Structure 1
Amino acid sequence: MSSHGTVVRSDASSYKSSTVPSQEPMPPRKPGGFSVDEVSKMVKGCIESRLGGQGTSYSHGSVSHWTAGIVEDVLKQLSVMNDNYKYVATCVIMERNGTGLHTASSCYWDNQTDGSCSVRWENKSMYCIVSVFALAV
């Protein structure tokens, strides 16, 4: 059974509304900050450790366990990578049966310090999409 992941890069555009008070600029980003490539590789590893075994097929009864485990693994590894961020991680697992799935996200944040990435993983029976949002502390 083959599997592969797709990384979706996301750089949210920030906007200023006339009703939003101006904010002081954030300090420069510290070295070792949010790296889309590094985080995407780590997320893919977390997905594969839970779902990548030979013969892993979609099971409706296992989805809640898989998603919770993947999100926990991702957050544990992110906290070790850099503690200058607060993280939000989401995971969606869907049976691969020909139906469509569309997702979107939007963030109002500082493009210099904050970041996000989404990783899509699939095998013959399911799709898994994990999104990570990193907000500088």
Structure 2
Amino acid sequence: IVTFLLFQGSFNSEEADAIVKECIENVVGGDDYSQSQVNKWTASIVEGCLTQLVKQGKHYKYIVTCAVMQKTGGGLHTANSCYWDTAMDGSCTVRWENRSMYCVVSVFAVSV
């Protein structure tokens, strides 16, 4: 297994970024912000991202977080920090927006 992981390469954040953007577009698309839809949207986004990441068949445990916020002119700041094997593990954060909301999704991939 160790040999396989060495040839597998490190986490590809560009692939994860594309998966996340596609999931957000599929779930929220051009919809306007709706408080009654936020729980459904966030659950669908994280589940969609996890499903697509796992389908890649790579040996990672994934953690996906999602925040949706209405555009009201207020500030939004996010940060994360990880202590792990930087040669194999990785993360990406996608900030997406449309005319009425922001969506911030973070993916953390920990090699197994």
Does the TM-score normalized on the shorter chain lie above 0.5?
yes
| Corresponding residue for residue 97 of structure 2 | 122
| Structure showing greater Rg | 1
Offset of residue 81 of structure 1: 1.1
Corresponding residue for 2:79?
Answer: 104
Unaligned runs of 5+ in 1: 1-25
Figure out how many residues of one structure are paired with residues of the other and give that number. Answer: 110
Match for residue 28 of structure 2 among 36, 39, 51: 51
Q: Does 1 or 2 have the higher relative contact order (CA < 8 Å, sep 6+)?
A: 1
Aligned equivalents of 2:34, 2:103: Cα separation in 1? 13
CA deviations 1:9-66 (Å, max 9, x no partner) are xxxxxxxxxxxxxxxxx8763336421111101110000001113xx10001100000
Given that 1:29 and 1:112 are in contact with CA atoms closer than 8 Å, whether structure 2 keeps it comes out as: no
TM-score, length basis structure 2: 0.92
> CA RMSD, aligned part only?
1.6
CA–CA distance in structure 1, aligned partners of residues 84 and 13 of structure 2: 16
TM-score by length of 1: 0.75
Q: Which residue of 2 aligns with 1:16?
A: none
Letter aligned with residue 63 of structure 1:
V
Q: Which residue of 2 aligns with 1:93?
A: 68
Q: Which runs of 5+ in 2 are unaligned?
A: none
Counterpart-to-counterpart distance in 1, 2:92 and 2:6:
18
| Structure number having the greater helix percentage | 2
Counterparts of 1:12-27 in structure 2, within 5 Å, are none
**Distance of aligned partners of 1:71 and 1:91 in 2 relative to their CA distance in 1, 3 Å threshold:** same
Identity of aligned residues (%): 53
1:83 to 58, 64, 81: 58
* C-alpha separation in 2, matches of 1:134 and 1:117: 9
